[in-house]
Amino acid sequence: MYLHERDKWTNFTWDAAVVAPLLGDARFDQGNLLGRVAGLGFSVGDRLQLDAVSQEVVASSRIEGQELDPSKVRSSVARQLGLGPCDDSLDTGAVDGAVAVMLDATVNFAAPLTLERLAGWHAALFPAGYSGLRRIAVGQLRTGPMQVVSGAIGHEKMHYDAPAANAVPALMEEFLAWFNENSSDNLLKAAIAHLWFLTIHPYDDGNGRMARALTEMLLARSDGSARRFYSMASFIMAHREDYYREIESAQKGTRDITSWLVWFLQAFRCAIEASQEAVSAAEWRDAWWRRAEGVAMNQRQRYMLQRLMGDFQGKLTSGKWAKMCKVSSDTALRDISDLVAKGLLEKAPGSGRSTSYHVVNLSK
């Protein structure tokens, strides 16, 4: 028997003795992170927000097997949020919809959730009206059966059979009324909403991504801020099999959703912990630039130092500098040598025949 087949299935219950301590720990972690970010200043917070939202959009789509170009997502987020320069050379049309959904959910977290708003999200996720080669009813509640299956054609395994289509409108009306009620604990509500929405499975496709957008909306309410600094979807993607197993178990279980709440809150704490590491790196960069203040450098040098302390891949060589800055090898070597002389770069030990460099730790 599925959860939705049980009498009054939306009257969820849980073991407060199990959930309450974990919820308290999660709230503490949440407050600690938000406090640290507040102390970093607005510009550093902007970078952390750009990172977190971009990661969330990419990971939420990847969970469903859809790969979005991270650089295009980042550029789209930067443009839509007005967070600094974005790469205008990138065609972000294929990702703008997914970004718009996440930003509407989080930036406008206080606005009521309605069927019309959800329809807009759904249309943004499927602008062409197709899911792969299959035409779907975009922006409309499904009118047919819905099953969650996996496996090759002819060898499918059914994981879940959703409520009948004729029950969906009333189920969504109940869900939306509950969602829009004031809550003293939006963190717990985020976990419940995630499972509840997936159990209804109201659309032909995109239910997972929309459930995670709803989760982010309630987490933004819980944070009391439209600025996102952690990514739940990134953790879920890294533990996708566990995620699917927990959802399936809850959907085949009783109204007691203790196990799901425990998993969600543990996932939340892990997402916060990952963000704490990003904040520590941001604090280090912020301190580094304060210590380097007053050191003369050209635009190329500043750009490359920022990249080295950000998303730079591999070792820094003069050849890589020349390629990234579109300058000659001689100019690249002069730029690097100047920063070495100023104590901002140093040769990496054991560089071998090809000399490489790294940023000097000014905190020593």
CATH number of the domain within which 333 lies: 1.10.10.10
Bridge partner residues of 316 (DSSP): 357
Domain match, 180 and 202 both: yes
Largest CA distance in the chain: 76
Dihedral, CA atoms, 171, 174, 175, 180, nearest 10 degrees? 160
Round to whole Å and give the CA distance between 58 and 67.
7
Q: pTM for the complete prediction?
A: 0.87
Tell me, yes or no, whether 291 lies in a domain: no
Tell me, yes or no, whether 315 lies in a domain: yes
Average pLDDT over residues 284-303: 90
Q: 284, 318, 343: which is the final residue of a domain?
A: 284
Average pLDDT over residues 316-326: 93
pLDDT at position 86, please? 65
Tell me, yes or no, whether 78 lies in a domain: yes
How many beta carbons lie within 10 A of that of residue 338, not counting itself? Answer: 15
Choose, from 155, 201, 239, 358, the residue flagged as catalytic: 201
> At 149, which CATH number?
1.10.3290.10
Domain match, 229 and 350 both: no
Tell me, yes or no, whether 289 lies in a domain: no
Active site residue 201: yes
Residue 244 annotated as part of some ligand binding site: yes
Residue 205 annotated as part of some ligand binding site: yes
Domain match, 204 and 315 both: no
Residue 210 annotated as part of some ligand binding site: yes
Tell me, yes or no, whether 194 lies in a domain: yes
Tell me, yes or no, whether 364 lies in a domain: no
Q: What is the pLDDT of residues 57-85, one digit of tens each?
A: 999 999 999 999 999 999 999 999 998 76
Domain match, 262 and 334 both: no
Round to whole Å and give the CA distance between 259 and 265.
10
* Number of folded domains that form the chain: 2
pLDDT at position 115, please? 98
Tell me, yes or no, whether 290 lies in a domain: no
Six token digits for residue 338? 């100047």
- For residue 71, the one-letter residue type is S
What letter would DSSP give residue 352? Answer: T
Residue 269 annotated as part of some ligand binding site: no
Q: What is the pLDDT of residues 203-255, one digit of tens each?
A: 999 999 999 999 999 999 999 999 999 999 999 999 999 999 999 999 999 99
pLDDT at position 364, please? 58
Distance of CA 325 to the CA centre of its chain: 30
What letter would DSSP give residue 165? Answer: G
In this predicted structure, the answer to whether residue 40 has a pLDDT above a threshold of 70 is yes
Q: What is the pLDDT of residues 81-113, one digit of tens each?
A: 998 766 666 788 889 999 999 999 999 999 999
Domain match, 220 and 109 both: yes
Q: Which domain holds residue 51?
A: 3-284
Q: 253, 284, 315: which is the final residue of a domain?
A: 284
Tell me, yes or no, whether 27 lies in a domain: yes
